[in-house]
Structure formats: structure tokens, C-alpha cells
Amino acid sequence: MSALPRLALPRVARVRKAKAGLALARLAFALLALGPLAASKPARADTPAPLVAVVSQKAAQLSLVDIEAREVRAVIGLAAVPAGLAASADGASVYVTHPDLSLVSRVDLASRTVSATFKVGLEPFGIAVSADGRHLLVSDWSADALIRLDASTGAETGRVAIGHAPAGLVVDEKAGLAYVADRESNQVSVVRLADMVRIATVPTGRAPFALALSPGGERLYVANVQSGDLSVIETGTTPREIARLKIGLMPYGVAVTPDGRTVLVSNQQSGKLAIVDAQTLTLAPAQPRLGTFPEGITVVSPTRAAAVDWADDEVVVIDIEARTILGRVKVGTSPRNLVALPGVR
């Protein structure tokens, strides 16, 4: 697996930033849709949006950002090369993966410190937290596996073999299913969580990376990096791809609005935001510029979304209804992914 600029991985040759486009076309390590098992409900339109946790890879830190005030509230130091992150449903903890170190860190948001670290697999990458906070799910890029952990101790409690180079993952807890983007297999693996068994695979475009579920779980949206398109999967009893839309150059992040009507996609190579009507599956002509190298994207409230720009070290604040960029917030070097923190303001 080729390395990304500013992302040092074990057993992988490093590349210079000048070659970022080619390296990133081969391997994505921007995390986007590495959300928690049960997505927290976004804030109402008439209430302040929650804080957003942002992981910066080269800076090795977690920033807590107030997107309404456009300011960083806190910065927490992490172990080297953090990659994926997920928040507990109660907003008490954030879990961060470190592929280089075979490590997962737990950050306590009350004390704003790293409260524990766990050794996990070979290259833990995508991560999610169960709604009750008792379990973690981690995709292991090198082991081609989805691993379940005890969130308190880090002990492995389950494992299932999936496709090659699993990246982003998302979970429909009501259905008891996990969906994992198997990047080098050009597919999504569907895993039944009750017994950690893969029950289906769904072909996608080339190099699927980030995923997002519709609010009701009936659709799964998958960003395919190398083919530059968005797979739309009908989950149901027999999951299947029902559409594939050309979306832009190197889509790395995907998110869905709380009403399920709009899909937001961050296109890394073009630096633009693609906006898709979920009902008609059409692409809006207006594509606001996110930055030089946008990666992860998340919906924070019914009216706000946020993305990270790796090259410019910024969090980009998006007005969903107006489809405009409201502002930018400087964070640590090489921000790769972000997640809204439920109940944390």
C-alpha cells in the first residue's frame, strides 16, 4: 500500500508532497466516514451546533473546534500519526487510531487528556463506537479484518476476515450490521455484528473509501476514490448497488443531512464540495471550493457541515441550506478527519 504525504506508515515507502496526487490515487488515508456505530443526532437548527473534534496527523493532536464561533477551544496531544476517530454517543470520549503504531487512543473529553491506549491488530484504521459505549469496531488495513474490542480494556472480543485494505466503516445498529469499505477489493463488506460474520459483499467503483448511511439506514453512500464516483447501495435483505454517479476528482469524504435529502461529498483533487439530491440522484451545478486538499467531511447540525483541508490546515464551515462556505478555522498540521461531539458545546 502506497503512503500518503505526511502519513508515515510501517513497511511503506514515503512520498514527497509534490507527488501527492499520484500517491493519493493509489492509496487513500483520509478518513471520512469513519463515524460511530450509532450516529449522534445533530443539533436542532435553533440550537448551537456541538463542538467538532479534528485529528491532525502531522501535528499529532486532537483539536476541539467551535464552528459557530470559528475558534479552537482546546488542543490535546496524541501519539504519532493519528488517522481515524470516533466519538462515544454520550460525548464523553473520543477514540483515535494510529496505524503506524498498531494503537488506539482513548481521549477523555472532561479532563481533555489521553486516558488509555490499546494495542490493536496490525494497522488499525477506521473506527466506530457502539451506542452504549461498551464496544469498539476497528478496520485493520493490513490484516484485512474487522475487529471488535472491549472499549474499557481494549481486549479483542471478535474478529472477521473481510476484503483487502479495509478503510472506512459505518454501522446500522438497529439492523445490527456493519458496512466496511474494502478499498483494494472494490467492494463493501456487510458484517452481522451479533456473531461477527460477513453475510454479503457489494461491488462498488474503484477504491471505495468513505461511507455514510441515510438516517433510516435504507441507503448506503460510498465514495470511490479512483473511479471518481459515488455508489448508492440499497441495503435491504439483499444489499445491491442501485446507482453510481460521477461525482468529481478523488472523492474522499461523504456525509448525509439529517433529513436524508442531501448528500455531501468532498473531492480531494478538485478541492470542491459536491452536493447530491438524494431523491433524484442528481449533482448540483454549484460546487463551492473547500480548499487545496479537502478530506473528511461531517454534518454537524441540520444547517451546518464541516470539512477538513489537509494542505491548508483548516476546518471549513459549510452552510448546508445556502450551499456556501461560511468560514475557516486554523488547526494543527495535516488535518485528516473530524467528528461532531454530541452534547459537547
Please count the CA atoms within 13 angstroms of the CA of 108 that sit on its side-chain side.
8
Sequence letter at residue 143: A
User: For residue 306, which of 268, 259, 273, 343 has the smallest C-alpha distance?
Assistant: 273
pLDDT values of the chain reduced to their tens digit, one per residue, 345 residues: 433 333 333 333 333 333 334 333 333 333 333 443 433 333 344 456 789 999 999 999 999 999 999 999 999 999 999 999 999 999 999 999 999 999 999 999 999 999 999 999 999 999 999 999 999 999 999 999 999 999 999 999 999 999 999 999 999 999 999 999 999 999 999 999 999 999 999 999 999 999 999 999 999 999 999 999 999 999 999 999 999 999 999 999 999 999 999 999 999 999 999 999 999 999 999 999 999 999 999 999 999 999 999 999 999 999 999 999 999 999 999 999 999 997 776
Global pTM reads 0.87
What is the structure's pLDDT at 39? 36
What is the structure's pLDDT at 299? 97
What is the structure's pLDDT at 300? 95
Backbone angles phi and psi of 20, in degrees to 5: -60, -40
What is the structure's pLDDT at 226? 98
Backbone angles phi and psi of 101, in degrees to 5: -105, 0
What is the structure's pLDDT at 45? 42
What is the structure's pLDDT at 175? 96
DSSP structure string for 210-266:
EEEE-TTSSEEEEEETTTTEEEEEE-SSS-EEEEEEE--SSEEEEEE-TTSSEEEEE
Q: Hey, what CATH topology would domain 17-340 get?
A: Methylamine Dehydrogenase; Chain H (2.130.10)
**Does the CA dihedral 103-109-113-115 come out positive or negative?**
negative
In the numeric block, the cell 483539536 is attached to 63
